Amino acid sequence: MTKVLVIGSGGREHALAWRLAKSEGVEKVWVAPGNAGTGADSRLENLPITDIEALRDWALENKIDLTVVGPEAPLSKGVVNVFRAAGLLIFGPTKEAAQLESSKDFAKAFMKRHAIPTADYETFTDAKAAHDYVERKGAPIVIKADGLAAGKGVIVAMELAQAHEAIDQMLEGNAFGDAGARVVIEDFLTGEEASFIVMVDGNHILPMASSQDHKRLLDRDMGPNTGGMGAYSPAPIVTADIHDQVMREIIRPTVDGMAADGIPYTGFLYAGLMIDRNADGTASVKTLEFNCRMGDPETQPIMSRLSSSLVDLVQAAIDGRLDEVQAQWDKRVALGVVCAARGYPQKPEKGQLITTLPEDSESLHVFHAGTKATAEGTVTNGGRVLCVVGLGDDVRSAAEKAYEGVKAVHFDGMQYRTDIGYRAMK
């Protein structure tokens, strides 16, 4: 019987742990530190440890067979290096490989070196040089803080004034701390975005089902960027042709490039894509970003559709035999709507009592993110509080199901988008 540890506390980790616990042969799944949702599931147990060395010691003592890491922060701090050094089996990229996400400059230089399609760019530490560059380039233009900024370090400046302001904030105002001590300035791309997530074992690649998220806070993609307000799988924009093109032009060269650079990539790899259809039916696909993990909230609909044993897939990846396994998917569409706290993304309010939640069923799953169990009941404890996933035969019916669930969620200040999936309903 397999003992599994999942590191993280968000909706992505709830969905991963939930799916892992359903795999045959799994004795128990611990989630460190987890949330109220993972704490309430009888097949899961929360473990209140976040320190990497303490987690390693606990995993050794408790003879954990397999660890899966959800978020980028522990990956970029080297949790995989630390676990491997202790002889523990863990699925994720090393600290070095996680630079594909933890440094935009590393990722851009890597893509340039290996001819992986992405927007043209330059990197700056000097504010004056950055200001001069945007004056030369003109707007729209995109300013990105170099390091991890929880999805909030990107300013898509439609006007030059906004670009100058972003440079001042990142390089001089220290708005993102060390993450902004260096900025990447890149050309503005047009098209439709999709999330392309694969499992990698250093060499072989196993694609996950396609997905698309909604990064803006408000309906019709208005308002500030967030970590993601909703997502669905599959994404119709990723046709079989686009899928092949992405594998050929982006994913395969990335995995081969990392191996050639002496930093073999293992773990989930997420390419954020911009897909622009040309008049002749072909498409230009460019990489907006890499993430060294699964997406949140994309994981919630993706895991809702996975019908293969996730433990078997992870075990195959750790053994370097991803070429021998296949992932099977529920044919239905899964669509997740994020219920966020008042004030998200700038200053989310915490501590509101969640008074009602819908019942889970075969076509409705509630994944917790920023929630905490207290004596009074479950309270909000972060910006993105829950993700309600509905399954249906098409995007419309999956959305109907999800919104039925959302209507049954109550906490003071709850905000959510009412149009998740609209691009796929055209």
Give the interface with ligand AMP as residue ranges (CB under 6 A): 119, 142, 144, 151, 154, 156, 186-189, 193, 215, 225, 272, 288-289
Q: Which residues are CB-contacts of 110 (< 8 A; sequence separation ≥ 6)?
A: 100, 116, 254, 257, 258, 261
Q: Give residues 297-326 in contact with ligand GLY (rule: CB under 6 A).
A: 298
Shortest CB 369 distance to ligand GLY, Å = 12
- Residue 8 found at the interface with ligand GLY (CB under 6 A): no
Paired sense of beta strands 333-340 and 384-392, if any: antiparallel
Beta strand 192-201 with 154-157 is unpaired
Binding partner of residue 228 among ligand GLY, ligand AMP, none, CB under 5 to 8 Å per kind?
ligand GLY
Q: How many angstroms separate the CA atoms of 151 and 88, rounded?
A: 30
156 binds, among ligand AMP, ligand GLY, none (CB under 5 to 8 A by kind): ligand AMP
* 149 neighbors 195 (Cβ within 8 angstroms): no
Look up residue 61 and give its DSSP letter.
H
3-state SS, one letter per residue, for 130-155: HHHHHHHHCCCEEEEECCCCCCCCEE
- Maximal CA-CA distance, the chain: 62
Residue 278-297 contact track with ligand GLY, rule CB under 6 A, x = bound: -------------x---xx-
Nearer to ligand AMP, 301 or 358 (CB): 301
Nearer to ligand AMP, 259 or 283 (CB): 283
* Binding partner selected for residue 142 from ligand GLY, ligand AMP, none, CB under the kind-specific 5 to 8 Å limit: ligand AMP
Q: Binding marks (x or -) toward ligand GLY, 205..224, rule CB under 6 A?
A: --------x-----------
Residue 13, binding choice from ligand AMP, ligand GLY, none, Cβ under 5 to 8 Å by partner class: none
Contact 70, 227 (CB under 8 A): no
Nearer to ligand GLY, 37 or 228 (CB): 228
Helix 252-260 × helix 104-113 angle, to 10°:
100
Binding site for ligand GLY (CB under 6 A): 151, 213, 227-228, 291, 295-296, 298
